Amino acid sequence: MSINPEFSQAVWNIVGSIPRGHVASYGQVAALAGHPRRARLVGRVLAGLPEDTRLPWHRVLRADGRIAFPPGEPAHREQCARLREEGVTVTGGQVDLRRHQWRPA
């Protein structure tokens, strides 16, 4: 399975529908896109987003609630900032999933 427009489109839609103050894991997005076990592919799609994207990419975290970017990288700080700005508590580059994970209806 390549990174076809269909999959990208699905990922964009899903990520775009994560509500403010909530987060989802890469694997969760992949599954919702109809492709379980393809978390890495989701990361690839997000990596391809333009810098001025309007998509809430910062609401996507690793399965353990940690930010995927290495601490110290600008992107890491950016993600922290954006999450906090919408009321998500980030401690040590990590979010409490029990409290913030998105559970789609």
Partner DNA sequence: CGGGTGACAGACC
Partner DNA sequence: TGGTCTGCCACCC
Only segment of 23-31, 81-89, 97-105 that touches DNA (CB under 7 A): 23-31
Site for DNA in 39-98 (CB under 7 A): 39-44, 46-47, 49, 57-58, 60, 62-64, 68-69, 75
Contact call for residues 88 and 95 (beta carbons, < 8 A): yes
Backbone angles phi, psi at 54, to 5 degrees: -100, -5
Which value, in Å, is the radius of gyration of the alpha carbons in the chain?
Answer: 13
Site residues for DNA per CB under 7 A: 1-3, 25-28, 37-44, 46-47, 49, 57-58, 60, 62-64, 68-69, 75
